[in-house]
Chain A
Amino acid sequence: DVKVTQSSRYLVKRTGEKVFLECVQDMDHENMFWYRQDPGLGLRLIYFSYDVKMKEKGDIPEGYSVSREKKERFSLILESASTNQTSMYLCASSFVGSPWMSQYFGPGTRLLVL
């Protein structure tokens, strides 16, 4: 079974802090994704990566950056957290070799920025 893990289930930070969210997958998937989920808006893509050190902006990249130094690990960075970044963050991965490229998700991190 595909396993996607995220470093924290719940996180409380203060405005202006630098925040790191980490995601690890164990199935050697090429693609990895970071989404944020807000009520009524569904999931919106922040960034994705299709290979080590490769990244592309999603629909809402402002205020975020990412890092992918190893294939299994994809980090989301909030350089200076703001209250409007309070949200649920979901990481996912997918396998390029399948035409479906079904995405497998981690359990999510609920981030509260005070």
Chain B
Amino acid sequence: AQKVTQAQTEISVVEKEDVTLDCVYETRDTTYYLFWYKQPPSGELVFLIRRNSFDEQNEISGRYSWNFQKSTSSFNFTITASQVVDSAVYFCALRGSNDYKLSFGAGTTVTVRA
């Protein structure tokens, strides 16, 4: 069974601060896929980034970056220089290679104040 834990329930920052969201996962699969989704107040989940278990290279995409460490089963996500439009609920998700479905964390609500 897959399990995803997002220990942070809520994070509040002032605009231009960096925000790091923690995600820890459990899986017995050797091949798996990790995702971060954003859910703005409108409700629709929007796919942000993804990583597979074979690629631990950390990357930056615009203001987003992620830190994937298999040794600690963590897939943390950072928003640099946050903006008010980043206010949303962020979900970390995991799919095992033999699964169709995603297992989601409970979500972290990010509030960016002007």
Contacts and interface: CB of A to CB of B under 8 A. Distances in A.
Q: Do A and B come from one complex?
A: yes
Contacts of A110: 43
Contacts of B52: 99-100
Of the four ranges (under 10, 10 to 19, 20 to 34, 35 or more), the interface on chain A belongs to 20 to 34
B64 interface: no
B91 A58 contact: no
Contact of B44 (A40, A48, A105): A105
Given A100-B33, A100-B50, A48 B43 contact: no
A100 B100 CA distance: 10
B72 interface: no
A94 B100 contact: yes
Contacts of A43: 45, 91, 102, 104
A108 B43 CA distance: 6
A107 interface: yes
